[in-house]
Amino acid sequence: MNCEVCQLKELDVEYFEIGEVLRCILHTIFFHRALGLVRPKDVDLELFEITYVQCGDAELEKKVDEKIDQFIDRVEKHPNKKNQICLSFFEVKNKQATWFTHKVEHLYWEQWYINLNVAQHPKPQSGKSHHSKLVLDPGESASDERNARRATLESSLHEVLFQIIKFVNEKKDHIPPIPNMEGVSFPYEITISSSSDSAFGMDMFKRMLQTGQPTMLS
């Protein structure tokens, strides 16, 4: 079974926008991958005029929030870097237990890369961002600039969601059989990496060969 990879469009976000943006993207992906019975839950973003859908699983919501907190911590520690969250879905294959270890293999069948470019200053009051790609017009007030940037991000986030929809509809054959479960039906893991890591590429390699933890979540 091949592993389908989707690299989502890179987003330029402010520090305080990370949580909302990530929650929106991750839950939208999960909603398309929780193929057991779900009761969809609409959630409105506070910072943007976007409504996304959660699959109504409280456990999942909690885990996603934990991961987002981890990501924000990492961003604080590693500013000036491109940061990436990878959401992977895998199948658990039990290999033959050898005499010294019981091997559990994770076969990844889908990976989503969410690329965020976080503005350098973590303070929300700051209207300027050195890493902002917007051209600063000296005549423009800070609030106008912020609004423009916000509008750009909103439309980019829209595009990312459209991108997710397009991907899930185009590629369906690689999805394994749906187990008889409610809510999130496939085991998954969320990993965080930054561009400066020497293991940035190694992370991907590691995941391919991972024979480690039998737990489904990292």
Partner 1 sequence: MDFQYNNNHNEHGRNDQIVSQFLLKTLHIVLESRVPYIRPNGRRGNLSLGSQVRKSDKWFNLALGERPTALDSLNFWHRNLMEPMIIDIILVQEMPGLGQNGSGYGALVETVIERWVVQYEYSRASQSHQSSESYKKTYKKSIILLRSLYTMMRLLPAYRAYRKLSSKGKACGFDIVYKVSSFSAPVTRSEEQVMKPYSFIPVEAQHGRLSVSVKYRESLSDFNLETSASLPPEIITDYVGSPATDPFRAFPDHKVATSFPVREIPPPQRPHSWSSGGPFMYNQSPPAHHSSSGRYDLSSSPTSYDVYGQRTQNYRPPTHHSFDDSPPFSPSPPTYLSSGGNYMQSRLRSETAPVSIPNPLITTPRYLSPNLSDPNRHSLPPMSPRSTRYEVSSHESPSVIRSLKKSEMSRIGDLSSASGSGSANHYSPSHKISRDNKDDSGRFSGLLSSSGSPRIGFSRSSSRLSLQDELDDIDFSCPFIVDDVDTCDSPVSQSGIGVKQGKKSQDAAVGALVRMLRTAPPLRQDSSCCSDHVESQSNTSGLFMSRKTSDALEELKAYTGIKHLILSKSKDTKQQHLYSL
Note the residues at the interface with partner 1 (CB under 8 A): 28, 31-32, 35-42, 49-53, 56, 58, 158, 161-162, 165, 168-170, 172, 175, 177-180
**Nearest distance from C-beta of residue 106 to partner 1, angstroms:** 21
Which position has the token pair 């503005």?
119
- Please identify, using beta-carbon distances, which residue of 69 and 159 lies nearer to partner 1: 159
Nearer to partner 1, 40 or 214 (CB): 40
Buried b (16+ CB within 10 A) or exposed e, 91-125: eeeeeeeeeeeeebebebbbbbbbbbbbbebeeee
The least distance separating partner 1 from the CB of residue 7, rounded to whole angstroms, comes to: 19
Burial class from Cβ neighbours inside 10 Å (0-12, 13-18, 19+) for residue 160 reads buried
The H-or-E segment that residue 192 falls in is strand 188-194
Strand partners of residue 86: 113, 191
Give 205's DSSP letter. H
Least distance to partner 1, CB of residue 155, Å = 11
Question: Which of 163, 191 has the CB closer to partner 1?
Answer: 163
CB of 21 to partner 1, least distance (A): 15
Kindly give the interhelix angle for 142-170 and 18-33, rounded to the nearest 10 degrees.
10
- Cβ closer to partner 1: 42 or 46? 42
* Nearest-approach distance from CB 35 to partner 1, in angstroms: 5
Measured from the CB atom, the residue of 101 and 169 that comes closer to partner 1 is: 169
